[in-house]
Structure 1
Amino acid sequence: MSPLPVDAAPPPLRLIAPSLPRRMACWLYEGVLLFGVVFIAGYLFSALTQTRHALDNRHAQQAFLFVVLGIYFTWFWHKGQTLAMKTWHIRVVDRRGEPLTQARALWRYVLSWSWFLPPLVLREWLQLPALEVLVLLGGWIAVWALLARFHPERQFWHDAWAGTRLVDSRTLPMRVAP
């Protein structure tokens, strides 16, 4: 067999999705790490606004945390992975396997709220108590995660809609920064 010519194109990149249990373990670990991010951001908000009671400025604080989390995820997804994703060898890329633009990472952040938004909308619509919302939320998260099994490439649906995908970072070639 003769070696490939120097100008030959490399073989197409095979993007392998991590297993669902591994992605969900990463998701839970991300939640643990976000506790610190939300704690510090909430403390900063309370200190800057001189909020003395948790329900004062509640909607402004929720909007602030939405923006802080958006910055956090957009920044790290644009770089390829969060700390939790790095720990579980998961990387987020676009459909071709390229790093995300900040706009695509932001769009993925907005669409990723599909993990939580349907039960929260139902809570407001039906005025459900907190315990029922937690049960509904847990059920929805399980359903949303399992729906990935129906995607042809085993991706979460919000990733498909955002034009992104989660891949096993150990299968990607090393990229050298310019």
Structure 2
Amino acid sequence: MTDSPASLPCPLWRRLIALVYDLLAVVAIVMVVGLVCQLATGGRVVTTGAQTAIAWWYRPLQAVVVSAYFVVSWLRGGQTLGMRPWHLRVTARDGTAAGLRQALVRVVVAGLPLALLALAPLLGLRGALWATLAGWVVWFAPALVDRRRRALHDIAAGTEVRRFD
């Protein structure tokens, strides 16, 4: 498909700014889910004492809810809240709407650098956060050289982010 002026590959800087906007939405989602879980369990999601303990189901629940935000957004119009002001849209390679499988692959692959947080016992929290950031730098690096400006999760899912002006 040739690029029309109305649909061009999105430059990386726009994607990253939209991602910052989405980070605000994700923080709000995490806070609401945390509040609902605390209310539903009578405040026993996180217990303190000699050691702080988090219920085994809490982190996976947060991951599912945040992933659902992205997948549903991409399936319903191809845009998250952060993508809307920047006129960005996730599409399949041919410019059509991304499908469920593509959205699921995209969210799983995009989230893989979060697994580096598991290194916190070895590296400390700061080291694990830096490792995660480095992972995302590697994930987005292909967008700097790819003709279609695709990041690693776009390549894996067969999607791309397009700019619509």
Report the TM-score when normalising by structure 2: 0.83
Query: Identity rate of aligned residues, in percent?
Result: 26
Q: Which runs of 5+ in 1 are unaligned?
A: 1-11, 171-178
Task: Please point out which of 164, 170, 176 is paired with 2:159.
Answer: 164
Tell me the secondary structure at the aligned position of residue 71 of structure 2. Answer: helix
Say whether 1:39 aligns with 2:17: no
- Tell me how far apart the structure 2 counterparts of residues 56 and 138 of structure 1 sit (CA, whole Å): 26
Say whether 1:19 aligns with 2:11: yes
Say whether 1:59 aligns with 2:56: yes
Q: Which amino acid aligns with 1:107?
A: V
Q: Which amino acid aligns with 1:134?
A: L
Shift of 1:71: 1.6
Shift of 1:153: 1.8
Q: Which runs of 5+ in 2 are unaligned?
A: none
- Tell me how far apart the structure 2 counterparts of residues 87 and 59 of structure 1 sit (CA, whole Å): 37
Tell me the secondary structure at the aligned position of residue 50 of structure 1. Answer: coil
Tell me the secondary structure at the aligned position of residue 83 of structure 1. Answer: coil
Shift of 1:39: 0.4
- Tell me how far apart the structure 2 counterparts of residues 70 and 143 of structure 1 sit (CA, whole Å): 21
Q: Partner of 2:75 in structure 1?
A: 78
Shift of 1:158: 0.9
- Tell me how far apart the structure 2 counterparts of residues 70 and 148 of structure 1 sit (CA, whole Å): 22
- Tell me how far apart the structure 2 counterparts of residues 63 and 51 of structure 1 sit (CA, whole Å): 18
- Tell me how far apart the structure 1 counterparts of residues 55 and 13 of structure 2 sit (CA, whole Å): 35
- Tell me how far apart the structure 1 counterparts of residues 155 and 135 of structure 2 sit (CA, whole Å): 18
Q: Partner of 1:114 in structure 2?
A: 112
When Rg is computed on C-alpha atoms for both structures, the one with the higher figure is 1
8 Å CA contact 1:89, 1:168 repeated in 2 = yes
Report the TM-score when normalising by structure 1: 0.77
- Tell me how far apart the structure 1 counterparts of residues 20 and 56 of structure 2 sit (CA, whole Å): 26
8 Å CA contact 1:114, 1:158 repeated in 2 = no
Q: What is the aligned length?
A: 156
Q: Report Cα offsets for 1:34-64 as digits up to 9, x if no partner.
A: 1101100111122223343354444311011
Shift of 1:13: 4.6
- Tell me how far apart the structure 2 counterparts of residues 64 and 51 of structure 1 sit (CA, whole Å): 16
